[in-house]
Amino acid sequence: MTQDKIQAYTRRITMANKTQMITILYEMVLDYVAEARDALQNSDKEAYAEGLKKAMNCIDELIHSLNVQYELGKNLLALYLFEKRQLLIAQVRNRYEELEHVCRTFQSLHSAYIQLEKMNDDEAIMTNVPKVYVGLTYGKGLLKESITDNLVSRGYRA
């Protein structure tokens, strides 16, 4: 994943509510699987394994966020575990079929959560983070970020 994409995800995570966090994790799974697919196509075994490992780490985060007291949580747990197993099979067999299955599943889940985001107006999970504003600067097409909050009070106070 490029540094710009990592920074974009970081910004989105700092401003996300619970539903948006799940959506972001789905997007990250899709990005890492796409990276793994590209690495497999280029016969780069190390990058392939790394992409799959990162995708599985994202799925682990999704698993830890579930509330299995409800039927939906149990169903999602079974689905996440199945898709993680598919990634493990893809890693061993070096095949595209399992990767495509994982992509289709997470694209469907992503679409569903996009709809849920529209109904969820909760506040961001993270508090006490600086607000970042992006706007046009003097040069045509150049973007500049500005942090407006006071950063002195961030973190723990003793």
Distance CA 11, CA 7 (A): 6
Asked if residue 143 has pLDDT above 60, the reply is no
* Predicted local distance difference test score (pLDDT) of residue 7: 83
* Predicted local distance difference test score (pLDDT) of residue 124: 74
- Which residues does 36 contact at the CB level (< 8 Å), separation at least 6? 47, 48, 50, 51, 52, 55, 90, 99
- Tell me, yes or no, whether 94 lies in a domain: yes
- Tell me, yes or no, whether 154 lies in a domain: no
Asked if residue 62 has pLDDT above 80, the reply is yes
- Give how many domains the chain has, as a whole number: 1
* Predicted local distance difference test score (pLDDT) of residue 83: 95
Instruction: Classify each residue of 92-112 as buried b or exposed e, where b means 16 or more C-beta atoms within 10 Å of its C-beta.
Output: eeeeeebbebbbebbeebbee
Q: Is 102 helix (H, G, I), strand (E, B) or coil?
A: helix
Q: Is 15 helix (H, G, I), strand (E, B) or coil?
A: coil
- Tell me, yes or no, whether 23 lies in a domain: yes
Asked if residue 132 has pLDDT above 90, the reply is no
* Predicted local distance difference test score (pLDDT) of residue 10: 83
- Tell me, yes or no, whether 138 lies in a domain: no
* Predicted local distance difference test score (pLDDT) of residue 23: 93
Tell whether the torsion through CA atoms of 113, 80, 6 and 31 is positive or negative. negative
* Tens-digit pLDDT profile for residues 67-109: 999 999 999 999 999 999 999 999 999 888 889 999 999 999 9
* Tens-digit pLDDT profile for residues 6-61: 888 888 888 888 888 999 999 999 999 999 999 999 999 999 999 999 999 999 99
Average pLDDT across the chain, whole number: 84
Residue 8 sits in which domain range? 3-119
CATH number at 47 reads 1.20.120.340
* Predicted local distance difference test score (pLDDT) of residue 11: 82
- Tell me, yes or no, whether 155 lies in a domain: no
* Predicted local distance difference test score (pLDDT) of residue 47: 94
- Tell me, yes or no, whether 135 lies in a domain: no
* Predicted local distance difference test score (pLDDT) of residue 78: 96
Assign 123 a pLDDT band (cuts: 50, 70, 90).
confident
- Tell me, yes or no, whether 24 lies in a domain: yes
- Tell me, yes or no, whether 14 lies in a domain: yes
Query: Could you give phi then psi for residue 42, rounded to 5 degrees?
Result: -90, 10
- Residue keyed to tokens 């079929």: 97
